[in-house]
Amino acid sequence: MGTHDTIRAVIWQHDGLRLLDQRVLPGREVYLEYDDASAVAQAITDMVVRGAPAIGCTAAYAVVIAAREAYARHGTDWKLNIQSDIKTLADSRPTAVNLFWALKRMQSLIEGIEGDPVEPLLAEARRIQDEDIAANHAMGELGASLMEQVGAVITHCNTGSLATGGYGTALGVIRSAYDKQLITEVFADETRPWLQGSRLTAWELVKDGIPVKLLADGAAAHRMKQGGVTWAIVGSDRITADGSAANKIGTYSLAVNARFHGVKFMVVAPTSTVDMSITDGSQIPIESRDPDELFSIQGKRIAADGAGAWNPVFDVTPPELIDAIVTEKGIVRNPTPEKMQAMMQR
């Protein structure tokens, strides 16, 4: 780990998986240990771990756990008996394409394994995480290279070490740019209803010594109007072939406001997040969650009894509002299907 990079949320240790429980941050730093694949799937659903790249890393390690159990119970028939666990993992979060990418990569390896599967699968899961961290550092440098003037930036949700294998996507760019003295401070949207900005992004930045101020989600436009903000920088859970980007609910609003106020808008994600099989954002499955997430905060009801709720977890920012998509393969400015295809073929 380097400067401004001290956090790892997904750790394989002592033959088991440890996940930093992001539901209880920043009040408590608790690592939960897992040795059952279905429990890991539930942890993904329950948002113990969240963020598309981190979910992918977690799922890969869960396949190792599932294979170990299947081989111990069923011997040479383990490949058949692991499939139910893989399906359970695939069903845990429908929007994060990295989940399916990681499972497909592990599944491809499974087909050629003879004998005990744990060692080769664990090596592959570790490669997935190591490659993600390396990609994040590469994206950090590329994204920082776009910043032509010193100023503040705005980000939404959490896209740092907590959401990835380590270092972060959008926060990786912020970390790299801050190291180069291109960022004066970070404005973090609180990100309702799970408050990932308040609880997680602010926690990461404070922990790594980067100046951060929280914004109510609805305050972003007013803050941009005051001047001094050069970029809005966000991550993504799925990017389509035309450059549409699904991210945490509220991202689309941030992009609309950024365009109106002349603030540039950057999406940062690894190529494992890019789904070239989907032509545009209308085809992205958008997860809806329990309305109680809007009715309550940390178990305390704040909404009027009898009110209903609409609780989509993600929205989609169209390519027309995106100034740059940054992946480990390079930068796509003003994305189009042709530019996306060229980037993916590098």
Determine the pLDDT at residue 3: 64
Q: Residue 247: which domain range?
A: 139-344
326: pLDDT confidence band, cut at 50, 70 and 90?
Answer: very high
Q: Is residue 111 part of a domain?
A: yes
Q: Are β-strands 296-297 and 300-301 bridged in parallel, bridged antiparallel, or unpaired?
A: antiparallel
The pLDDT value recorded for residue 263 is 98
- Please determine, for residue 266, whether its predicted confidence score (pLDDT) is greater than 90: yes
Residues 236 and 202 in one domain: yes
State whether 37 and 183 are in the same domain: no
Longest CA pairwise span in the chain (Å): 65
Mean pLDDT rounded to a whole number for the chain:
95
Q: What number is the average pLDDT over the span 80-86?
A: 94
In a domain, 109, yes or no: yes
Q: How confident is the model at residue 52 (pLDDT cuts 50, 70, 90)?
A: confident
**Residue 148 neighbours by CB under 8 Å, 6+ apart:** none
Query: Quick check: is 2 in a domain?
Result: no
pLDDT score of 1: 55
Same domain membership, residue 176 and residue 130: no
- Structural domain ending residue among the three candidates 134, 161, 176: 134
Confidence of residue 96 (pLDDT cuts 50, 70, 90): confident
Is position 322 within any domain?
Answer: yes
pLDDT at residue 107 above 70? yes
Predicted pLDDT of residue 6? 80
Within 8 A by CB and 6+ apart from 204, the residues are 7, 158, 160, 161, 162, 168, 171
Min mean pLDDT across 5-9, 131-135, 194-198 is at 5-9
- The yes-or-no verdict on residue 138 having pLDDT over 70 is yes
Position 97 confidence tier, pLDDT thresholds 50, 70, 90 = confident
5 is a domain residue: no
Strand partners, 266: 233, 324
Rounded average pLDDT over 307-323: 97
Cα angle 283-284-286, degrees, rounded to a multiple of 5: 130
- DSSP conformation letters of 268-312: E--GGGEETT--SGGGSPPPB--THHHHEETTEE-SPTT-----B
Residue 4 confidence class, pLDDT cut points 50, 70, 90? confident
In the chain, the percentage of residues whose pLDDT exceeds 70 is: 99
Q: Is the pLDDT of residue 278 over 70?
A: yes
Domain boundary among 108, 134, 160: 134
So which residues are the catalytic ones?
A: 237
Q: What is the arithmetic mean of pLDDT over 308-312?
A: 96
pLDDT score recorded for residue 147: 97
Final residue of a structural domain among 110, 134, 158? 134
Question: Which are the contacts of 27, defined by CB distance < 8 A and separation ≥ 6?
Answer: none
Residues 186 and 63 in one domain: no
- What is the pLDDT, as a whole number, of residue 2? 55
Give the pLDDT confidence of 184-241 residue by residue, as tens digits.
999 999 999 999 999 999 999 999 999 999 999 999 999 999 999 999 999 999 999 9
pLDDT score of 161 more than 80? yes
Record the pTM: 0.90
> Is 158 in the same domain as 112?
no
Question: What is the predicted pLDDT for the residue at 279?
Answer: 98
Q: In terms of domains, do 145 and 222 share one?
A: yes
Q: Say whether both 304 and 180 belong to one domain.
A: yes
What is the C-alpha to C-alpha distance for residues 189 and 23, in angstroms, rounded to an integer? 18
Residue type at 142 in one-letter notation: L
Residue 94: per-residue pLDDT: 81
Using CA atoms, how far apart are residues 81 and 85, in angstroms rounded to an integer? 8
The number of domains in the chain is: 2
Kind and range of the H or E element at 244?
A: none
> Alpha-carbon distance 59 to 41, whole Å?
8
